[in-house]
């Protein structure tokens, strides 16, 4: 198994209220999966991805990645890449600098040819010198996708990656995902688009912090 969650609980305290964003989720996801995660707004999809990426810790339960218990993000840093729902581009860095930033903490060099190839695939090669504030929503999203795909990883976590994309760009991204999947990469994609979800191998439905069907 690539991923095993056992009775995973994640709580947030917002003022007086406690939210159980993940309310005891048990889940197994196999190697080389292509999974869609569906569910209404606020049901815990982004929380699930943040846990799987190691950006946040469970309050209760257990997370195993490739058989190993995840205690911190050390195990995951070079194995997982995240495409964020809100892009997470740093405002004071250019697009090119944003794309190359993960090479520092991943300690992975990006070959110039690779930077060019991924940028061309996503149609952002003309945007390298721009600042994020000078980009459209879809351009930001494509930059966030490129930043994730530049680096070698075993698992791509994609949080509504086509949310701000037009149809052509959405189809282009799905073609890239299909290629990566055929090369052995695992992909977990949150989406509200049923047609895209149906192109995945498996659909996980969430509601209110629970997995209701898989």
Ligand X SMILES: Nc1ncnc2c1ncn2[C@@H]1O[C@H](COP(=O)(O)OP(=O)(O)OP(=O)(O)O)[C@@H](O)[C@H]1O
Binding site for Mg ion (CB under 5 A): 45-46, 85
Minimum CB distance to ligand X smaller for 39 or for 170: 39
> What's the closest the beta carbon of residue 141 comes to ligand X, in angstroms?
14
Tokens 């049901």, residue located: 43
User: Using CA atoms, how far apart are residues 151 and 101, in angstroms rounded to an integer?
Assistant: 11
CB of 19 to ligand X, least distance (A): 5
Residues that bind ligand X (CB under 6 A): 12, 14, 19, 21, 39, 41-47, 85
Name the residue nearer to ligand X (CB basis): 44 or 161.
44
3 state SS of 31: coil
41 binds, among ligand X, Mg ion, none (CB under 5 to 8 A by kind): ligand X
Q: Which is nearer to ligand X, 43 or 150 (CB)?
A: 43
Return d(Cα 64, Cα 89) in angstroms, integer: 29
Binding partner of 76, given ligand X, Mg ion, none, CB within 5-8 angstroms per partner class: none
Enter the tokens of residue 3: 């991923």
Residue 15: both structure tokens together: 């003022």
Q: In the bound complex, which residue of the shown chain has the CB atom lying closest to Mg ion?
A: 46
Give the DSSP letter string of 155-204: EEEEESTTTT--HHHHHHHHHHHHHHHHTT-EEEEE-S-HHHHHTSSEEE
List all residues 6 or more positions away from 195 whose beta carbon is below 8 Å from its beta carbon: none
Question: Closest approach of Cβ 43 to ligand X, in Å?
Answer: 4
Biggest CA pair distance of the chain: 52
Shortest reach from residue 96's CB to ligand X, in Å: 28
Residue 47 vs 119, nearer CB to ligand X: 47
The item of ligand X, Mg ion, none sharing an interface with residue 47, based on CB under 5 to 8 Å by kind, is ligand X
Per DSSP, what are the bridge partners of residue 17? 14
Query: Closest separation between CB of residue 17 and ligand X, Å?
Result: 8
């Amino acid at each position: 198994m690539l991923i095993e969650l056992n009775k995973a609980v994640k709580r947030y305290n917002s003022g007086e209220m406690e939210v159980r964003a993940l309310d005891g989720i048990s889940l197994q996801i196999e190697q080389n999966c292509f999974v869609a995660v569906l569910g209404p707004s606020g049901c815990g999809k982004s929380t699930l991805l943040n846990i799987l990426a190691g950006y946040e810790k469970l309050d209760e339960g257990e997370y195993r990645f490739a058989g190993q218990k995840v205690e911190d993000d050390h195990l995951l840093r070079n194995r997982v890449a995240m495409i964020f729902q809100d892009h997470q581009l740093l405002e004071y860095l250019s697009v090119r600098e944003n794309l190359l930033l993960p090479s520092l903490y991943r300690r992975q060099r990006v070959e110039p040819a690779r930077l060019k190839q991924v940028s061309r695939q996503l149609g952002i090669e003309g945007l390298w010198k721009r600042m994020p504030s000078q980009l459209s929503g879809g351009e930001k999203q494509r930059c966030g996708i490129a930043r994730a795909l530049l680096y070698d990883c075993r698992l791509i976590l994609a949080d509504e990656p086509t949310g701000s994309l037009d149809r052509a760009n959405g189809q282009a991204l799905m073609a890239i995902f299909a290629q990566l999947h055929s090369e052995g990469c695992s992909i977990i994609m949150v989406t509200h688009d049923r047609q895209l979800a149906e192109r995945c191998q498996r659909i996980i439905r969430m509601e209110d912090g629970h997995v209701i069907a898989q």
